[in-house]
């Protein structure tokens, strides 16, 4: 399941009161499992309570035993009222007794001190055995009570998210050109590796303004050497592209790159600007190959008015590209 489908599915689950579906989201480290749950909960209007299971003991889920009227009762720290989402993060890295406690929450047996009230949903996340994390297999009975959903990150969907979250346009352009580098095909035994999370952190590195040699070393330490060498070479060229202000001032005179890799970079930059400023740069975009004009319009169409003469004329001229877009 891709990340957009997952967020939409979780939102639908969270809008109900019953807890008949308890998802377990499985995916590589850094793919965005935790943030997707948070975004879906926010859209559903629910509060989010997160427990990082590898740092928990069973008592953090079950509570402390007490004697009440001669019987043992557990002072559970779990919610007792309202509505919300309980995220049990990193189940596959949790200690066995913590996994058992998580099982009790999911099971919600009648009369249990650990039962959550109606209106509270449970979501669990975990890595896979192939991900080279600290991994403990999840028991069969618990897995049999869950809806196990594998997650895949797609560069096009990540780019849409990235534009809304101030990710550097050069990173977006690079991953549109080299989408296979968004996530590592195989996680190394040691050292850094690319993931949506680690690419996000690269924006902070680019904003530091450190010397190029230091910047490269930090990028290697964030996304790994292979991806970093390619990105660094790309970055050197991208930084020589004309600025946004130059393009705005001289849209018909400013040179349009011929390389697809640089066109991805400049379109991503222009799209971010148009989305933020609500201003079209169609005079320049119209000089690009049609597929990059299409990418620009798809980027901006949900964020600003595209019913302007320059954009409508371009769409009319390239109508065959939009047959499935209903613009």
pLDDT grade for 172, boundaries at 50, 70 and 90: very high
d(CA 310, CA 289): 16
d(CA 196, CA 117): 35
pLDDT above 70 (res 323): no
Residue indicated by tokens 């998210």: 161
The pLDDT assigned to 117 comes to: 86
Contact 78, 71 (CB under 8 A): no
d(CA 130, CA 138): 14
**Residues paired with 115 in a beta bridge:** none
CB count, 10 Å around CB of 25? 26
Residue indicated by tokens 């119209």: 286
Residues of the chain with CATH 3.40.50.300: 3-150
Joined together, the tokens standing for residue 265 give 């970079």
Residue indicated by tokens 């450190």: 210
For residue range 237-265, list pLDDT tens digits in order: 999 999 999 999 999 999 999 999 999 99
d(CA 306, CA 327): 9
The pLDDT assigned to 116 comes to: 86
Contact 273, 245 (CB under 8 A): no
- Tell how far CA 70 is from the center of its chain: 50
Question: Once rounded to an integer, what is the mean pLDDT over residues 211-233?
Answer: 95
The pLDDT assigned to 325 comes to: 57
Contact 113, 77 (CB under 8 A): no
The pLDDT assigned to 102 comes to: 93
Helical packing angle, 309-317 and 290-300, nearest 10°: 130
The pLDDT assigned to 134 comes to: 80
Contact 242, 271 (CB under 8 A): no
d(CA 169, CA 222): 18
Joined together, the tokens standing for residue 233 give 């070479």
Higher-pLDDT residue of 27, 131 = 27
Could you tell me the fold of the domain covering 3-150? Rossmann fold (3.40.50)
Q: State in Å, rounded, how far the first CA of the chain is from the last one.
A: 27
pLDDT grade for 110, boundaries at 50, 70 and 90: low
CB count, 10 Å around CB of 197? 17
Question: Once rounded to an integer, what is the mean pLDDT over residues 57-70?
Answer: 85
For residue range 132-152, list pLDDT tens digits in order: 778 888 999 999 999 999 998
Beta strands 64-68 and 71-75 are: antiparallel
pLDDT grade for 319, boundaries at 50, 70 and 90: confident
pLDDT grade for 215, boundaries at 50, 70 and 90: very high
């Amino acid at each position: 399941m891709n990340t957009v489908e997952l967020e939409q599915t979780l939102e639908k689950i969270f809008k109900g009161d019953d807890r008949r579906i308890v998802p377990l989201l499985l995916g590589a480290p850094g793919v965005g499992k935790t943030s997707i749950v948070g975004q879906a909960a926010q859209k559903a209007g629910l509060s989010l309570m997160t427990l990082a299971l590898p740092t928990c003991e069973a008592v953090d889920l079950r509570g402390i035993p007490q004697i009440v009227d001669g019987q043992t009762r557990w002072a559970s720290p779990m919610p007792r009222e309202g509505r919300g989402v309980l995220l049990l993060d990193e189940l596959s890295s949790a200690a066995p007794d913590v996994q058992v406690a998580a099982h009790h929450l999911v099971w919600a047996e009648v009369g249990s001190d650990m039962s959550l009230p109606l209106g509270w949903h449970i979501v669990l996340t975990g890595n896979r055995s192939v991900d080279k994390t600290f991994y403990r297999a999840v028991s069969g009975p618990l897995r049999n009570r869950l809806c196990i959903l594998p997650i895949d990150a797609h560069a096009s969907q990540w780019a849409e998210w990235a534009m809304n979250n101030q990710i550097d346009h050069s990173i977006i352009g690079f991953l549109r050109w080299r989408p296979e580098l968004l996530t590592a095909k195989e996680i190394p035994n040691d050292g850094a590796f690319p993931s949506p999370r680690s690419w996000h952190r690269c924006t902070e590195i680019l904003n530091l303004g450190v010397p190029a040699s230091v910047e490269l070393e930090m990028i290697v330490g964030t996304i790994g050497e292979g991806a970093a060498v390619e990105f660094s070479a790309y970055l050197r060229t991208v930084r020589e592209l004309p600025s946004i202000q130059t393009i705005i001032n001289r849209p018909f005179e400013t040179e349009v790159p011929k390389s697809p890799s640089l066109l991805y970079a400049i379109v991503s930059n222009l799209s971010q600007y148009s989305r933020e400023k609500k201003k079209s740069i169609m005079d320049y975009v119209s000089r690009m190959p049609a597929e990059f004009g299409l990418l620009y319009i798809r980027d901006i169409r949900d964020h600003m008015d595209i019913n302007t003469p320059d954009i409508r004329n371009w769409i009319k001229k390239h109508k065959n590209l939009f047959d499935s877009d209903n613009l």
